[in-house]
Amino acid sequence: MIGVINEDIIKRDPIKKLQELKENLNKLFSYYEIGDDGKVYDKTTENGEEVNIKESGGYFKAKIESVIIGSKRDGTYSKQLDTIKNEIITGDFKKFFGDYNTIVAPKQTWDYYTGSYCGKLPKSEYGNICK
């Protein structure tokens, strides 16, 4: 069939998806501050309780990689995605979670970008982020 388009791909907007993730991360980081001692404190609590959000970095890394991999796979990738990714990982992300390249992303069962069960995605492309 000529001209058949996968409607799921049309509905996906990787730039919008990554921008939304960036905005959500910025909102998350607005609730916390790093003290002089290098520990992270919750600004919303009365006593500024210490919290450990560093472990969440892998979860967000998996989402970022999902958008990059998925957009390359479905042909919607653009260099602007790398720009947004770099804005994310060199800002507060790095302060709160550490160096992006050393963060281990836990294997996911559900892919963030495609909204699909990871078992349905090709291991050759999604093997680093999907179970």
b/e code 11-50 from CB counts within 10 Å (16+ = b): ebebbebbbebbeebeeebeebeeeeeeebbeeeeeeeee
pLDDT, tens digit (0-9, with 9 covering 90-100), for 16-52: 999 999 999 999 999 999 999 999 999 999 999 999 9
- pLDDT for residue 42: 96
Look up the pTM and report it: 0.87
Are 130 and 121 a contacting pair, CB within 8 Å?
yes
The domains of the chain are located at: 12-126
pLDDT in tens, 75-87: 999 999 999 999 9
